[in-house]
């Protein structure tokens, strides 16, 4: 039993180290642009609901999406994109593919998707809420 517990702890530690390493690499990646005013305003509900503070430097993140929690009535969801934890507006789920290219801003432990596969996600979800 102790061996099994040690193996589980080692696996969790290795996974955590890989995620932290990928986040560090993304932080060092080239900045594409800065977040525009509409995108910043569209992410205000995320900041208000979660208390997460993100930067305004948009970077490119590529990879497969692995689903996390999906709550269709909740304005934001989470998952893993390219091995990095991401938060995204619910509208992004419609634009996920087997391989994704996302423009993200970084928070402490998360990347926040603002554009996914060429679709402006952050402002799109905001305009949907305004219309309904």
Taking only the tens place, the pLDDT of each residue in 41-88 is 989 988 998 888 999 999 999 999 987 777 777 788 889 999 999 998
DSSP states along the chain = -HHHHHHHHHHHHHHHHHHHHHHHHHHHSPEEEE--HHHHHHTHHHHHHH-----SEEEEEEE-EEE----TTSSEEEEEETTEEEEEEGGGGGG--SSEEEEEEE-SS-EEEEEETTEEHHHHHHHHHHH-
Taking only the tens place, the pLDDT of each residue in 3-35 is 988 888 888 888 888 888 889 999 999 999 999
Residue 129: per-residue pLDDT? 45
Q: Which residue has the higher pLDDT, 6 or 122?
A: 6
Reply yes or no on whether the pLDDT at 131 is more than 70: no
Domain segments of the chain as ranges: 2-131
């Amino acid at each position: 039993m102790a061996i099994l517990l040690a193996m589980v702890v080692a696996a969790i530690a290795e996974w955590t180290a890989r995620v932290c390493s990928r986040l560090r690499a993304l932080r060092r990646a080239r900045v594409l642009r800065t977040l525009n005013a509409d995108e910043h305003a569209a992410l205000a509900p995320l900041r208000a609901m979660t208390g997460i503070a993100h930067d305004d430097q948009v970077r490119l993140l590529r990879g497969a999406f692995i689903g996390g929690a999906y709550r269709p009535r909740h304005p934001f969801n989470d998952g893993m994109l390219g091995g990095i934890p991401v938060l995204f507006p619910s509208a992004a789920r419609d634009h996920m593919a087997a391989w994704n290219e996302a423009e993200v801003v970084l928070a402490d432990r998360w990347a926040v998707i603002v554009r996914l596969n060429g679709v402006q996600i952050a402002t799109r979800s905001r305009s949907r809420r305004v219309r309904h």
